[in-house]
Amino acid sequence: MSRLRALAGACALGLALSGCAPTPPSGPVASPTPGIPSPTTVAPAPSPTASPAPPGWTVETWSNNDPALPVHLQWPVVPGATALNAMLAEDMDARARAFLADSVPNPEVPPELSGTWETVLDAPAWAGVRVDLYEFAGASGRASTSVLYGEKLSGTALRSVDLLAPTARRTAVDAVVAALRADGHEVLDDLADAPDLETRLFDDVVVGPRGELVVRVGEGLVLPFSEGVVDVTLAPSVAEGVLSEQGRDLRDAVVGLVGPASPTPTPAAPVSQRPAASVDCAVVACVALTFDDGPGKETGRLLDDLAAAGAPATFFVLGTSVRAHPDLVRRMAAEGHEVGTHTWSHKQLTKLGEEGQRREVQRGVRAVEEAGVTPTVFRPPYGSYNATTRKVVGAPMILWDVDTLDWRTRSTDATVASAVGDARAGSIVLMHDIHAPTVDAVPRVVAGLRERGFTLVTVSQLLGPQEPGSVSSRRP
């Protein structure tokens, strides 16, 4: 979305502004004269989209998998947009490290930082990414968004605030505040007058196809928290008065583009899944290898290694990763691996109410189904669940009894030693295919387990039929 606006006063605002939000508003300001457009549009911010990533975009992940202080962040890598990619990576790394430095691990009520993203622009010359963060400090949670832009050829990267000329930012603040008041919102004067609002109010700005700007007004910036997140759309004529030179360059590249920023999800044709081999784990010593948090840039190599070894595995995939790599999910199924879900964005489910848990679980399931695969099992992030989780999940829940701690050690040798040395007949081994050292370890893990006499199977082969909401960490 976009945000900004310039105007000297509320009266001028009424004459100069006209705009529309990307989603239908619930109640636009009425025009004083029939046939004259409303001066501005204010609407609740829409829910994040689940659109697939544009072709060629991949995903990076920052994750510590620590249940007492969990951090899980994802962001895209955009072909050609080197400066944008560097800015995203640096921002996410800095946020994660600052959160870990400022937080105290608490197994009972863990602080948490999670983040995902969505595409707001994929034009021939420019890309735009919205980063959606959620931080829980131990008492309450807070969500925030920001939009970053990158030029694909020159290497330029911009934050949303860079779209506005520094000398015009206070004018833009006044315009947004006037629009909110005109729409009947309770603007808090002490917040609206804060000098740093000229920067903080413009973390999330999207340029529309007519050159309009939509400013996403975050929780508690100028409105009471109870009013949530609001989008203010500002007309092209207003944008012209407050855009910086870089902002005009981006605007000129966007104007005239038609359609959504990213493709509308279209379910893929169902994958013909290769049937699993017949194995009786009541008789044979079986072990199930499982991989969380993918698919990612290492997953294709992992699938190559598993295919070469003739070894099946179970993948617990994230919806946010599936949208960037649906082909890898289809390949998993086609090559005889089991596909389970791991929620949409890796939030700790026990901090969410019933509706929040259901949304996280079902969005993850839909992402896999849209890739053409039917998921069969579920693993809660961090292994954390409660009675509500069991109620809403709709599939058997699979934990583990061998944690390789690959997320902590990032060591190939340590992962091999744990996976091979700690496994027993009936074990479920936890690894993560987003880490290169883990993928490096897999050929040795497979060989080592087989040398110990184990047969490798999927989770469902190991456990047999399980009821939805049941919880298993190994074969009894």
C-alpha–C-alpha distance, residues 164 and 138, integer Å: 36
DSSP-assigned beta bridge partners for residue 430: 290, 403
**Is 292 part of the annotated catalytic residue set?**
yes
Q: What are the phi and psi torsion angles at 184 (to 5°)?
A: 90, 10
Q: Let me know: does 450 contact 376? Beta carbons within 8 Å.
A: no
C-alpha–C-alpha distance, residues 397 and 466, integer Å: 9
C-alpha–C-alpha distance, residues 386 and 453, integer Å: 36
Tokens for 342? 């791991």
C-alpha–C-alpha distance, residues 377 and 384, integer Å: 15
C-alpha–C-alpha distance, residues 276 and 104, integer Å: 45
C-alpha–C-alpha distance, residues 458 and 81, integer Å: 39
Name the catalytic one among 203, 292, 406, 440: 292
C-alpha–C-alpha distance, residues 179 and 162, integer Å: 22
DSSP state of 412: H
Q: Which residues contact 260 (CB under 8 A, 6 or more apart)?
A: 51
C-alpha–C-alpha distance, residues 300 and 340, integer Å: 17
Q: How far apart are the first and last CA of the chain?
A: 52
Q: Which residues contact 469 (CB under 8 A, 6 or more apart)?
A: 390, 391, 393, 394, 396, 397
Q: What are the phi and psi torsion angles at 98 (to 5°)?
A: -65, -40
Name the catalytic one among 72, 325, 432, 435: 432
* Identity of the amino acid at 227: E
Residue 344, CB half-sphere, CA atoms under 13 Å: how many?
19
Q: How many residues does the chain have?
A: 476
Q: Taking each helix axis from N to C terminus, what angle separates 436-451 and 299-309, rounded to the nearest 10 degrees?
A: 20
In 180-325 the beta strands, taken as DSSP E runs, fall at 205-207, 213-217, 230-234, 286-292, 314-317
Nearest to 116 by CA among 297, 291, 322: 322
C-alpha–C-alpha distance, residues 475 and 294, integer Å: 24
C-alpha–C-alpha distance, residues 141 and 243, integer Å: 33
Q: Let me know: does 335 contact 57? Beta carbons within 8 Å.
A: no
Q: Let me know: does 338 contact 279? Beta carbons within 8 Å.
A: no
What residues act catalytically?
292, 432
